[in-house]
Amino acid sequence: MNLFVDEAEQALAQRLWAQALAVQALAHAPYSRFHVGAALVDDQGHTHAGCNVENAAYPEGVCAEAGAISAMVVAGGRRIQGILVVGTGAQWVTPCGGCRQKIREFAAPHTPVWVANADRIQARLTLEALLPHSFGPDHLSPPKDTA
Ligand code: THU
């Protein structure tokens, strides 16, 4: 499996990996003890990161990807050009179903989604592979001439 399409993308993914690892260490995960970090690059080339933030009221916990997306939005970014998630262990930690939809709001079908652990970047997936036949903003914004 190809992890990167070219050297520029490899450099970007490695930058995201380092940032995701740095924030993974800051995760507030006293209940699951499962620390996750996420980092993304936006349409301006800026990067944003987030970690999971759990809550004693369990359903109120927030995933790492959601934190990274919030950071992008408050910084003025509106498109995700690539996102990387760092988990723990050999098994791929892919974004949960809810986070796939959250990524969908700001990304294109071909947008790369890397999964990694502390040892290596494990896989390069795409949003389309993770969330096929998805519902998105385009469903709510029909072209004016057909509306
Ligand atoms: N988690 C994430 O933050 N991102 C993922 O992609 C998978 C799961 C978090 C949610 C919860 O705090 C913990 O990992 C265990 O599910």
Strands of 25-120, DSSP E: 37-42, 47-51, 80-86, 112-116
Q: Is residue 140 part of a domain?
A: no
Tell me the CA distances in angstroms from 74 to 44, 50, 69, 99, one per residue in order. 14, 13, 9, 18
Q: Is residue 104 part of a domain?
A: yes
- Cα(122) to centroid(ligand 1), Å: 17
Mean pLDDT value across residues 88-95:
97
Mean pLDDT value across residues 101-121:
98
- Domain encompassing residue 115: 7-134
pLDDT digits (tens, 9 = 90+) for 27-76: 999 999 999 999 999 999 999 999 999 999 999 999 999 999 999 999 99
Q: Structure pTM?
A: 0.95
Q: Is residue 93 part of a domain?
A: yes
116 lines ligand 1 (CB under 6 A): no
What is the per-residue pLDDT for 72?
A: 98
Tally of structural domains, the chain: 1
